[in-house]
Amino acid sequence: MSKKTLHFETLMVHAGYQPDQNNSRSIPIYPTTAYTFNNAEHGADLFNLDFKEGVSPYIYTRLNNPTNAVFEQRMAALEGGVAAVAVASGQSAQMTTIMNIMKCGDNFVTSPYLYGGTYNQFFVSFKDLGIEARKAASDSAEDMEKLIDKNTKALYTENIGNPFFNVPDFEKLAALAQKYEIPLIVDNTFGCGGYLCQPIKFGANIVVESATKWIGGHGNSMGGVIVDGGNFNWGNGKFPKYTEPSEGYHGLVFWEKFGAAAFAMRCVAENLRDMGAAISPFNSWLLCQGLETLSVRVDKMCQNTLEIAEWLQTLPEIEGVSYLGLPNNKYHALAKKYLRNGFGCVLTFRVKGGVKQTVLFIEHLELISHLTNIGDVRTLITHPASTTHRQMSEEAQIAAGVYPNLCRLSLGLEHLDDVKEDILQALKAIK
């Protein structure tokens, strides 16, 4: 059956896997580092990136693995891409993507509404490599265009930014990227594996995301994924990594050999080979288990988040509730345009009384877990100013929507009466 005839919920259970020679209905785990070659020619073909139909394509688990391949193919199907590459974490997905495009002296333009770890990677680590991240005044196409020059090689934005909850106008950003012949990269972590949003359908060229969050869904496995939309012309003359002979593959030209899937192939052949941000097959297996219940969990979490957001607005101790599902949210209209199946599973709110009261409130919570994660079946809370965005200046924090008294709440699957009671008792304790 063609995958084009299948709905999202069916793809998240079936895509990328048919029972193997042992007729295992569940996805097997292949805990092996390497794979035997049929003969010397088979090994040489694989190292030349010559893959023949019906012949095993596996070389070494740093590069590829049958369990990882199921996860990759499933994610490509769910996000609407031609191929996907699984890596060790969301951070390594970003790093691998940028390194797969940029060289020393290049730059990319980014939205200012970034997760704290992304901010440091972009503006500290990449700077040491000679790659410049240029922070626009907003996530609008107008502000991003002001920073583009001849060395700009990509646009970057988060979808449902963390924790600003911005929803980019994908169509305008895609048009801008096309105007300058550069790819649009979207972090779709909060898009829940494509269930809430598929940026590629709106013109994005590459999607990166942390699979550690809703994709895995149980707080027990790290992983990241890069999805190649297969809709960008890497042969336009701006990207020599794709049009000039590769030193590492005897002069192979990626764009000529792999066409629409050139980006994904180079991620594996050059970046995973050389930088080694490989995912464990055990983690890929756990992430596939998470995918099988993704829509059910996210549906319930979105319902829970909307109810808690509306309820928090009624509490006198709380101010500034931010959730895309609230009509007064700045990005509500764009969320209705680009999101489906809900408005996300995370909200933020500010505790009246300042940072001291906020910290005391979090420390008095009993059911809700205080940690730096999201997308778990358990309800989680974070104080971004002192944790995820701690390394940023106060000015940069405010620009990213991180206020000193801001709390980020990721809703799980508990009964909401219990969640509400925990919040009320913590507020009462700090009066």
Q: Can you tell me which residue has the tokens 């304790």?
A: 429
CATH number at residue 357: 3.90.1150.10
Does residue 272 share a domain with residue 307?
no
Task: Give the residue carrying structure tokens 């995370």.
Answer: 346
Residues with Cβ within 8 Å of 124's Cβ and at least 6 positions away in sequence, in order, are none
Question: Among 312, 323, 324, which Cα is nearest to 423's?
Answer: 312
In a domain, 247, yes or no: yes
Q: Is residue 2 part of a domain?
A: no
146 & 280 share domain: yes
Domain for residue 63, yes or no?
Answer: yes
Flag residues of the chain having pLDDT under 70. 1-4, 398-400
Distance separating alpha carbons of residues 402 and 253, to the nearest angstrom: 44
Residues 6+ apart with CB under 8 A from 152: 106, 107, 108, 109, 134, 180, 182
Give the Cα-Cα-Cα angle 394, 397, 402 (nearest 5 degrees). 120
> Which of 151, 165, 135, 197 has its CA nearest to residue 320?
165
Residues 273 and 319 in one domain: no
- Helices 281-291 and 66-79 meet at what angle, rounded to 10? 40
One domain for residues 172 and 311: no
In the structure encoding, which two tokens stand for residue 316, read together? 């006198």
Same domain, yes or no: 201 and 165:
yes
Angstrom distance (rounded) from CA 252 to CA 258: 10
Pairwise CA distance, residues 26 & 18, whole Å:
9
pLDDT at 1: 47
Tell whether 156 is covered by a domain.
yes
Tell me the residue length of the chain. 431
- Indicate if 359 and 381 belong to the same structural domain: yes
Tell me if 1 is assigned to some domain. no
What is the Cα–Cα distance from 83 to 90, expressed in whole angstroms?
17
Which DSSP string do the residues of 26-84 spell out, in sequence order?
SPPP---SB---SSHHHHHHHHTT---TTS----BTTT--HHHHHHHHHHHHHHT-SEE
Please say which residue of 241, 271, 290 terminates a domain. Answer: 290
Amino acid symbol at 414: E
Q: Which residue has the tokens 């992983």?
A: 223
**Does 88 share its domain with 174?**
yes
329 lies in some domain: yes
Residue 215 lies in a domain: yes
Report field, pTM of the whole predicted structure over 0.75: yes
Q: What is the reported pLDDT for 335?
A: 98
Last residue of a domain, one of 290, 318, 340: 290
Distance CA 252, CA 123 (A): 33
Encoded tokens for 251: 């002069």
Same-domain status, 222 and 349: no
Write out the residue range of the structural domain in which residue 392 sits. Answer: 295-429
Give the pLDDT score at 230: 98
Is residue 143 domain-shared with residue 119, that is, in the same domain? yes
Query: How many independent structural domains does the chain possess?
Result: 2
Q: Is residue 3 part of a domain?
A: no
d(Cα 346, Cα 337) in Å, to the nearest integer? 19
Residues 116 and 168 in one domain: yes
Look at residues 273, 290, 307 and tell me which one is the last residue of a structural domain: 290
- Residue 228 sits in the same domain as residue 270: yes
- What are the C-alpha distances in Å from 86 to residues 91, 151, 212, 426? 12, 28, 12, 40
| Domain containing residue 203: CATH number | 3.40.640.10
Asked if 60 and 83 sit in the same domain, the reply is yes
Residue 426 to residues 201, 358, 423, Cα–Cα distance (Å): 43, 10, 5
